[in-house]
Amino acid sequence: LCGDASLPDRCAGIEFDAITPDEKGNTFFFKGAHLWKGFAGPAVLSNESFKELDDIHHIGHVDAAFRMHNKDNLDDHDHIYFFLDDKVFSYYNHTLEDGYPKGIQDDFPGVPTHLDAAVECPQGECMTDSVLFFKGNDVHVYDISTKAVKTKQWSHLPVCTAAFRWLEHYYCFHGNNFTRFHPVSGEVNGTYPKDARNYFMRCPNFGHGAGHKVPKCSETKLDAITTDDAGKTYLFSGPNYMRLDTRRDGLHGFQITRTWKEVTQGVDAVFSYDNKIYLIKGDQIYIYKGAAHYTLIEGYPKTLKEELGIEGTVDAAFVCPNEHIVHIIQDGNRMRDVDLTATPRVINRDVPLPISPIDAALCGADGINLFKGSEYYNYESAMILAMGRIRAIPKPVTSAMIGCED
């Protein structure tokens, strides 16, 4: 290869052969003998990252690729699988595993050869830990533990040349476009196809309108933060939210309405309890059932008075793991406790706090963090916070905590 002129340019509009993240969360886009690492930067030869992917080994390109999600089998979990014709290659840490390549049937019985695309689908997003294999309009759903294959026809989807799971959403790539789909039903909601250059790569004169940039840590101001029962951590700021626990695969601000479509004006406070997430705005509270996707419980929103027995606006709220008391911070420096198992719900403790005002609060294994602008205060427990007349020492928020830029 001589010079950059011979390198493919994904900003010119490319149909990818395969897309997959690796075990560190770097995303690789494949085309012919080349790949791109991440969402910006030039193409390089695939065999610089995965050394057997070359013509000498007769694998000048890949048909499909995915990253295995199988926490029950750590010998397999996070390995990358590449498919070419009737062969499969398994890599971990960019090294080909012993015994590979194998026939596809040896590792994935019942899955056809000459695939178009593949994507992993963890339990909770699919019924069980699964892989979706695409060939033409057929989708072969492979159950990792039982090795059973169910074939579905999704003729409403374009033929996918690559498929990609990113931040719990599923994308079928075709031409230089993509279509987002539901991994169980194949349903497409919203306006598709969309040009991949506006979303999945940085290209001159392309870009999508969310305009959400990761703030500098020194300029951070949260509205709310919570961790749900499944361990998903959400940070809310203005009209946007960010998932923090998927940071390995990248951080990205999304509009709150994308996940909680009825909450159109941002949030004042959020807390999680009993597989549900409670979003508070003004004197209204919205309660969503947590599963692969959130659904608003019928009859909501309700007023805070009706649901929690409190009046006025809320600054922050938190529930500690395995507890059933919600601690609600109001009026700048009052913490009011409500027992979520009681009927009717009433305030059963009302204490002053040594800090005011508070933007957001989170309770976890490291105690309680109260966020105020770009600083936070840590208290060991709600009891110590309630009894403490002494203000904890403020510490600056860090990238490791909330994904801001240091």
- pLDDT at residue 16 is higher than 90: yes
Query: Taking 90 as the threshold, does the pLDDT of residue 102 lie above it?
Result: yes
The pTM of the full predicted model, rounded to 2 decimals, is: 0.72
DSSP 53: -
- For β-strands 80-84 and 87-92, DSSP reports them as antiparallel
Question: pLDDT (tens digit, 9 = 90+) per residue, 310-327?
Answer: 999 999 999 999 999 999
For residue 223, report the phi and psi dihedrals to the nearest 5 degrees.
-95, -35
Helix (H) or strand (E) holding 90: strand 87-92
Looking at residue 214, its pLDDT comes to 67
Contact of 300 with 263, CB cutoff 8 Å: no
Quick one: pLDDT at residue 210? 41
Average pLDDT value for the chain: 90
252 labeled part of a ligand binding site: yes
Q: Which domains does the chain have, with CATH numbers?
A: 18-198 (2.110.10.10), 217-396 (2.110.10.10)
At 301, phi and psi to the nearest 5? -75, 155
Amino acid at 209: G
Identify which of 194-198, 241-245, 372-376 has the greatest average pLDDT: 372-376
CA 218 to CA 236: how far, in whole Å? 17
* DSSP code at position 238: T
Is residue 208 annotated as involved in ligand binding? yes
Length of the chain: 406
pLDDT tens-digit map of 59-89:
568 999 999 998 888 888 999 999 999 999 9
Lowest mean pLDDT among 235-249, 264-278, 338-352: 235-249
CA–CA separation, 311 vs 324, rounded Å?
A: 20
Distance between CA atoms of residues 62 and 78, nearest Å? 19
